[in-house]
Structure formats: structure tokens, C-alpha cells
Structure 1
Amino acid sequence: MYLLVSLTDVVQIHPTDFNKPGYRAIEDFINAKYADKVIHKVGLCVAFHSIISTSEGLIGHGTGIVNVNVDFRLIVFRPFKGEIVSAIITNAAPQVGIVLSHDFFEDVVVPPETLFQDTRWDRDENGTELFIWYQKAADYDEPTPYYFDRAEKCLYRVEEEQWTDLSPQKQKPHSQFADQGDDLEGRRPPYLIRGSMMLSGLGPTLWWSTDEIDGPDDDVDGDVDMDAQP
């Protein structure tokens, strides 16, 4: 989910930062420029990791700014294809699918066609619209509904990355579906993850809880032999 990438950039140290140790001034510049931003085809920058090497500082004429060529490492968020990742359901729409959040990254969507078979956009007993998976067992006439409730922790599988090269002036915070009033289909984030929930074990983790599967009634009947050896 997290990668260590190496980059090269020109770090500018302003005279107001001359009171800082050189390493600290360089780190502050890199954090301010890259932290919480998406680098195209690289990922979402989470934090500065370390400095690999630096050049001699050159003082700019008339400004006093020191320019330093720096090779450094960043920690980036970029799950690989096929990885199973945990997230929280934040929103949903029948055309878009289920929207997920990692707290610091919210541009994750699971389209309707990658949900379990027999999943429909429907209303629950409270009248709330959401996706519901209707699982029909052989022993029952009526299928059992399983709800994709908001704020529910779930697991999804990464299927595809979608990159949009935006200029700095056009970039918006990486929250494709942050507000209820947003057009869920019209936003174009710089980095979008498309996932799936169509395999056993995926979806809300509550569905697959051992408490739900192996309840007290599922214990083996009969007396226990206390003298039995392990």
C-alpha cells in the first residue's frame, strides 16, 4: 500500500530559515511542497522519509535565497493491483457505486458492476437508499439482505488506477465525493482507485464476523470428555 520513491528537486532556502539546521530547512521545504499532494503516475505523497544527497548551496543574486539540488525519498500511498485494502464507506449512488475513504484519501470507488451478484440499489427498513446484497440460500425461500451501510468498515480489492494530469491551478483537494451536493459523476480527481467487492470475504467486515458465522448454537452437541488428551 505504501511505497518508498526517490525524487530530485531544487530546494530553495529563504533567509528567514537560515536559523534552522540545513537538514531541517530542506525537510520543511519538501514537506510543504509535496505532503498530501498527488504526483502523476507516482501516488499520493504521505510524508518525507530521508535525504539521499545534496549539492553545494548557490545564493541567488539579489534575493539571498540558497538553491540546493537534493535527492530525497518520499513515502507515497499507492496500493498495487489485486491488493486487499480496508476502508470506510462514505457515500453511494446508483450510477457511480460505493465510495470509500482511507481518512487521508477519499477517491476510491467500487462500481455497481463489481459488487456481488444480486446486489441492487434499494431502500432499507428506514427508507434509506443504499446498495443491498440479496443472498439466497437453498434452504430458504426469501433471500437474506446484507446492507452496504455508510460508515461501515469494509474490504475491497484494487482493480484499476485512473490518473488525470491536472495543472496546479486546476487541482482540487483529493476528495471526489466529499460533499452531499457534489456531482458524483462530474469530478475528475488526479488519482482515482477503482475496486471490487465480488469475492467471499470482501464487503463490510461485519458480514464475515466469526460471531455471526459461528454462534453458540453451532457448538458440537454431546458431553465433553474431560480426560481426553490434546
Structure 2
Amino acid sequence: MFILSEVKDSVPIFPTNFGLPTHEAITSYLNKKYANKILQQVGFCLAVWDLVECGDGKVRWGDGAVWYKVKFNLLVFQPFSGEVLVGKVLSSTPDRIRISLGFFDDIYILISSLPADEFFFDPEDPDQPTGAHYWLVPLDEDAPSDSERTKLPILNNDMIRFRITASKFQEHEPRPPSERSKIVDGMAVPVDDDEDEQLPSWLLEATIAEQGLGVTGWWPAGDDEDQEEADELAMDES
């Protein structure tokens, strides 16, 4: 789930930080630049792990900074395809379920990756404003044919176990003004964030259409372990 990725960069140390040890000043700058950001084709950066190489500092004309060429390791979140994780349900729509790990929120389970015999219901529930998916549990072979099938919901804030199936990066390029605004009463008005939806820079797709996957409460045998994971996730979010 977590890897070390080697990166090269040029780092400026400005006069305000000349009093700090060079290692500390460089690490602080790199953490501000990379932490909590997506590195294309790598993953979600968490923090600088260590400095591998650091060249001699050079002063460039005009900015007063000392520049260092460095090589360092980044701690990166990058789950492999097929890895099983546990997260929390953020929201549901008829097309997909969105999952959070506390530090990363762009994990999606598409309707094609939900269990067979699932359905979506949109109730008037303030705690579930976007509706919820339900799984109709198959009947046992010896159950009467007229037996009612159990409906298991997937609700917001439920802990859910899923398997990673795809990792997709998206590079966003600047768009022309015509796409960043709309015409209202003959005037150009900036598009609201809600109307200007774009794919995230990086998203993960997952499935729960396998035995043992889905809401952790569906499978009582793992309750203790799942509760520990839920407690850890709650601590991370706080």
C-alpha cells in the first residue's frame, strides 16, 4: 500500500531559513511542495522519507536563495492491483459508491463492481441524502422458494472492505475562458465548483463483488479486526 519513490529536484533555501541546518531546511521545503499532493504516474505523496543526495549550494543572480540539487525518497500511497483495503463509505449515487481512507478520498466502486442482485434506493433520509445501494442476499439451497431475501444496505460511514482493480491518472490542462465561465444575461459569469466537475488527478477503482468483500458487518467473523481498522481510521481523521 505504501512505497518509497526516488525523486530528483532543485530546492531553493531563502535567507529567512539560512539559520536552519541545511538538511532541515531542504526537508521542510520538499514537504511543503509534495505532501498531500498527487505525483503523476506515482501516487499520493505523504512525506519526505529521507535525503539520498545533496549537491553543493549555488547562488543564482536575482533571488538571493541558495539552490541545491537533491535526490530524495518520498513516502507514497500506491496500492497494487488486487490489494484488499478497508475504508469508509463517503457517498452513494445510482452509478457508484465513493470510499475514503481518511487521508485519500478518491476511491470509487462502480455499479458494475457491486454484488449481483443489488439495487439502489433513494430515501428521504437526511443522513443518507444521496440514497444507498442494497444487496439482496441469495437464498440457501434448502430455503423455501417463497422466502423473503435479506436486504443488506451500504450506508454512509459504513466500514467497507474492497479490492483495488484499477489506478487512473488524469492530467488537467488549462482550459479556454469559454469553458471556465458561462453566459448569464449577456455577461460572462465564472462557473461554480459544483458545475465545474473534473476527474480527480488520480483515482482508484475497486470491487466488492467477491466473497468476503463489502460492508464489514456483513461478515461477523472479522468484526474484531475490522473494528481495530475502523478505530485507526477514525484516529487518522481526527
Question: How does the TM-score come out when normalised to structure 2?
Answer: 0.78
Distance 1:197 1:211, change over 3 A: closer
2:210 is matched with: 199
Q: What's the C-alpha RMSD, in Å, of the aligned pairs?
A: 2.3
Distance 2:9 2:173 in 1: 18
* Structure 2 match to 1:220: none
Classify the secondary structure of the residue corresponding to 1:210.
helix
Count of aligned pairs: 199
1:208 to 210, 213, 219: 219
Q: Which residue of 1 aligns with 2:40?
A: 40
Contact kept in structure 2, 1:85 and 1:156, CA below 8 Å: yes
1:108 aligns with 2:107: yes
Larger Rg: 1
> Where does 1:62-73 land on structure 2 (aligned, <5 Å)?
62-73=62-73
Instruction: Map 1:57-136; keep pairs closer than 5 Å.
Output: 57-95=57-95, 97-123=96-122, 129-136=131-138
- Say which is worse superposed, 43-52 or 134-143, in terms of deviation: 134-143
Return closer, same or farther for 1:90/1:23 CA change in 2, 3 Å cut-off: same
Is the 8 Å Cα contact of residues 155 and 204 (structure 1) preserved in structure 2?
yes
Q: Give the unaligned 5+ runs of structure 1.
A: 170-180, 213-230
Counting aligned pairs with the same residue, the percent is 28
What is aligned with 2:227? none
Match of 1:150 among 156, 167, 171: 156
Encode CA deviations 1:7-52: one digit per residue, 9 max, x unaligned: 0000100010001000000001100110000011000101110000
Contact 1:164–1:189 (8 Å) recurs in 2: yes
Structure 1 stretches of at least 4 aligned residues deviating more than 4 Å after TM superposition: 123-128
Return the offset for 1:61. Answer: 1.7
Matched residue SS, 1:64: coil
Of 134-143 and 43-52, deviating more is 134-143
- Whichever structure has more helix as a proportion of its residues is 2
- Tell me the TM-score normalised to structure 1 length: 0.81
Contact 1:115 1:196 in 2 (8 A): yes
